[in-house]
Amino acid sequence: MRPLNIVLFGVGNVGSTLIRQILADKQHFHEAGIDLKIPVIANSRLAFFEKENLHSSWETDLGSFGFPYELEDILKYVKDKDYKNLVAVDATASNNFVDNYQRLVEAGFHIVAANKVANSLPFEVYKNFRETLKEHKKQFLYETNVGAGLPIIQTLQGLHQAGEKITRVRGVFSGSLSYIFNTFSEEDKTFAEVLDEAQLKGFTEPDPRVDLSGKDVGRKLLILARELNLRKDLSEVQIQDLVPAHLNGTTSLAHFRKNQEHLNPDFQELKKSLKEDEVLRHVGELDLVKQELQVKLVKEKKASAFGNLKHADASFEIYTESYGEQPIVIQGAGAGAAVTARGVLSDLIKLAQNLKNEDSTQKTEQRLSL
Ligand SMILES: NC(=O)c1ccc[n+]([C@@H]2O[C@H](COP(=O)([O-])OP(=O)(O)OC[C@H]3O[C@@H](n4cnc5c(N)ncnc54)[C@H](OP(=O)(O)O)[C@@H]3O)[C@@H](O)[C@H]2O)c1
């Protein structure tokens, strides 16, 4: 049985679901020869060190026995315990937690991240971190950075590694914007009404301008571009901000809420301009021939893959030389705690299997050198 010792940072929607999934499916992983242990869990304030096995009372344990911590406390604890196969899971929603990655890797951790900050930092920082990983022979997996549990990154990596020429990637990346434009295109409601509805259903961020700004989609597009060896930065992504200047992020959320009806006339005009067989969709487009990245609102044919989208689903089209005009399409829930945690879990299993393969290669090499 190969143990993987997980230090979990962030026990919000994704982190807590991940713990539940690991506890529920323990037997399944054991049968595959993998023992997922979680000796440490931490939120932004408290860390809890588990002596035996983490169990279903973890939340109470963190509240009752957790203590304020520094990263170095955790590093010392896992060193003293001599834990092997360490992995730090970044399930935080923090912009700053990434500052710990270098130290974690130096201390012997692999990294699995749901948080997409590390992959959208300036290119030099992105590149230097990959050098650090190489130097310390550590792995970094982040499938859920784009499309949550959908296998987007691994599909692109597989095609790219196999030498397939990828010419274009298009996607409805955002669950919230998918819901907003799927509903607005089809139903007789104003844009502000649809926005309220999306917020009530929990699809948007507390400040919906974060979604409407298109920045998050821009980040995801950048992550895909970098997977395909494009040396790009966020400032080079052309992003259409759907919030007019007088309602943008520099004004208060309350001001935006009070005046969000000002968005209605322009969106209504756009809706009126749609042909019978068209709908509005919010897409990210990566053109690998022109090396351009764009985030924008477009008119799509109802009969197309994007035009057919329902609810808050995401959809991705990958155009390559061999597939010609008919792209590979990957579609489904592109957000949500259950699918995202399962995606993180899938990265953890992949990591455990990679480590197993490394071990057997090392053993073979040792045998051959005897
Ligand atoms: N939800 C999705 O559908 C989805 C999909 C793909 C990717 N993701 C990514 O997954 C990550 C987690 O999302 P979520 O929805 O679970 O967020 P969340 O519910 O807001 O939970 C965030 C967790 O991170 C902790 N945290 C914040 N800063 C920290 C720090 N410096 N050190 C340790 N813990 C820290 C928070 O602790 P406190 O409670 O103490 O603040 C909280 O436990 C985000 O990066 C998100 O972008 C989410």
pLDDT digits (tens, 9 = 90+) for 143-190: 999 999 999 999 999 999 999 999 999 999 999 999 999 999 999 999
Protein residue whose Cα sits closest to atom 10 of ligand 1:
114
The per-residue pLDDT for 28 is 96
Task: Of 77, 344, 316, 318, give the one whose Cα is nearest residue 217.
Answer: 316
Active-site residue, from 116, 138, 215, 220: 220
Q: How confident is the model at residue 357 (pLDDT cuts 50, 70, 90)?
A: confident
The rounded Å distance from CA 140 to ligand 1 centre is: 18
Q: Give 30-79 as a DSSP string.
A: HHTTEEEEEEEEE-SSEEEE-SS---TTHHHHHHHH-EE--HHHHHHHHH
pLDDT digits (tens, 9 = 90+) for 12-21: 999 999 999 9
Which residue intervals of the chain bear CATH 3.30.360.10?
A: 152-335
Which residue intervals of the chain bear CATH 3.40.50.720?
A: 3-148+338-369
How many Å separate Cα 141 from the centre of its chain?
A: 11
- Assign domain 3-148+338-369 to its CATH architecture: 3-Layer(aba) Sandwich (3.40)
The per-residue pLDDT for 251 is 86
pLDDT digits (tens, 9 = 90+) for 232-279: 999 999 999 999 999 987 889 999 999 999 999 999 999 999 999 999
Q: Best mutation site among 70, 92, 100, 117 for ligand 1, i.e. most ligand atoms within 8 A of its Cβ?
A: 92
Phi and psi angles of residue 332, each rounded to the nearest 5 degrees, phi first:
155, -170
pLDDT digits (tens, 9 = 90+) for 295-329: 999 999 999 999 999 999 999 999 999 999 999 99
Residue the block writes with tokens 């400040």: 207
Which helix (DSSP H) or strand (DSSP E) does residue 217 occupy?
helix 215-227
Find the mean pLDDT for residues 212-231: 97
CA torsion 73-79-85-90 (nearest 10°) is 10
Ligand 1 pocket: which residues have CB below 6 Å? 9-15, 42-45, 91-94, 97, 114-115, 144, 148, 335-337, 340
Distance CA 26, CA 44 (A): 27
Catalytic site residue 84?
Answer: no
Distance CA 299, CA 111 (A): 39
The rounded Å distance from CA 16 to ligand 1 centre is: 10
* Torsion sign across C-alpha atoms 44, 47, 52, 56: negative
Q: CB neighbours of 10 closer than 8 A, spacing ≥ 6?
A: 42, 43, 89, 90, 91, 92, 93, 94, 97, 114, 115
Protein residue whose Cα sits closest to atom 29 of ligand 1:
44
Protein residue whose Cα sits closest to atom 45 of ligand 1:
115
DSSP 3-state of 286: strand
Percent of all residues in the chain with a pLDDT value above 90, rounded to a whole number: 88
Protein residue whose Cα sits closest to atom 19 of ligand 1:
12
CA torsion 161-162-168-174 (nearest 10°) is -60
* Whether residue 367 has pLDDT greater than 90: no
The rounded Å distance from CA 48 to ligand 1 centre is: 17
Tell me if the domain spanning 152-335 has CATH number 3.40.710.10: no
* Whether residue 370 has pLDDT greater than 90: no
Chain-wide mean pLDDT for the chain? Answer: 95
The structure's pTM equals 0.94
Q: Best mutation site among 43, 70, 144 for ligand 1, i.e. most ligand atoms within 8 A of its Cβ?
A: 43
Residue the block writes with tokens 């699809």: 203
